[in-house]
Amino acid sequence: MSGTITLEIATPDRVVLKDTTDSLIVPGLEGYLGIWSNHAPLVAALRIGILKYKQAGGGFRPLAVSGGFLELAGNRAVVLADAAELPEEINVERARKARERAERRLQAQTADTDLARAELALRRAANRLRVVGS
């Protein structure tokens, strides 16, 4: 399958990335989806995970995404993410502290603990740390 995909990743605050790729891997709700050029049109909900896209002449580049949607049509992929970060944008120390706070909240589990929120915070922090290899 030859050809390229125009990839755009945006959050409510900014456009994170505009690039071209021949393939990408996205974290769908039911598992990771592999996308090649000339893929059939698709709309998919995304979960917290690592989005990877192949750079020209190189390997896959990761991004941390925290939910959202992928729309794919005509070799154009648009990701509208709740949050998305390139590896160089991730503050490792901040992510470690966020992970520790979430772990403490989950271990303490008082009547005031919002378990769903603490679990999501833990998953987001762990995802950021995986993207940077920590």
Tell me what pLDDT residue 1 has: 46
What's the pLDDT score for residue 113?
67
What are the tokens at 83?
A: 């949050």
Helix (H) or strand (E) holding 95: helix 92-108
Give the per-residue pLDDT at 134. Answer: 63
Domains of the chain: residue spans and CATH? 5-85 (2.60.15.10), 91-132 (1.20.5.440)
Encoding tokens for residue 74? Answer: 């005509």
- The structure tokens 């709740």 sit at 82
CA 34 to chain centre: 14
Judge whether 79 and 67 are in contact, CB under 8 Å.
Answer: no
Instruction: Divide the 134 residues of the chain into consecutive groups of 10 and give the mean pLDDT of each group.
Output: 87 96 95 94 97 88 96 96 96 96 85 81 95 86
